[in-house]
Structure 1
């Protein structure tokens, strides 16, 4: 539903029920919140691709994973009809790759020693969480 100024307003899901086809409520789209955790190296390219496809995203700096490196978490609101397009776009932009890391950071002292050679580990790609949205209002 479009309001003055081009803003969309979404009702609470519990208010939606099963609307009649001829009511304004039938025009409401079910929304999802996508949380995409990606490697920092892929963030700029993905943000550009999202913008080109008219997706709006909020970018958050985050840290985690077993390498304890910085990554980027994107919060993206999307209607059900465009969810597959978004997943494809993320998959095409955020590729997995391998990286050499010092083995001493990967082996615990209780394992009796530290290997001297670097270890190749997979990095990159994306972890995508898709959540149902109970309420979404853009003002």
Structure 2
């Protein structure tokens, strides 16, 4: 068994969860915040059999979208230099797959 953890945009989380649920897969939604852009996102966790991992990843890829946007550069306190806005890619998904030693549902 594997635990799939996907960090996705808030805007994409409903579609991803709905697609997983329609395929009979349970998913848990956790609110989270990114460290670079410091904006809200969603972390989805889903426990699946090993052979379903690629299937889950394919659903996340299909339902998650990325885009480019500009963000303010990083400012260092006490430094008078302000970095110009930079273009970054946001969205899509960051996915972790880890082994599960034990699963208990009570």
TM range (shorter): 0.7 to 0.9
Answer with 1 or 2: which has the greater Rg: 1
**Equivalence map 1:42-61=2 (5 Å):** 42-61=12-31
Residue 130 (structure 1) aligned to one of 85, 92, 97: 97
How many residue pairs align between the two structures? 106
1:87 pairs with 2:54: no
SS across alignment from 2:13: helix
Residue 121 (structure 1) aligned to one of 85, 88, 98: 88
SS across alignment from 1:138: coil
Name the Cα RMSD after superposition.
1.9
Displacement of 1:109 in angstroms is 5.9
**Equivalence map 1:10-89=2 (5 Å):** 31-89=1-59
Structure 1: runs of 5+ lacking an equivalent: 1-30
TM-score (norm 1): 0.68
Instruction: Kindly indicate which of the two structures has a greater share of residues assigned to helix.
Output: 1
TM-score (norm 2): 0.87
Runs of 4+ in 1 over 6 A off after TM superposition: none
Structure 2: runs of 5+ lacking an equivalent: none
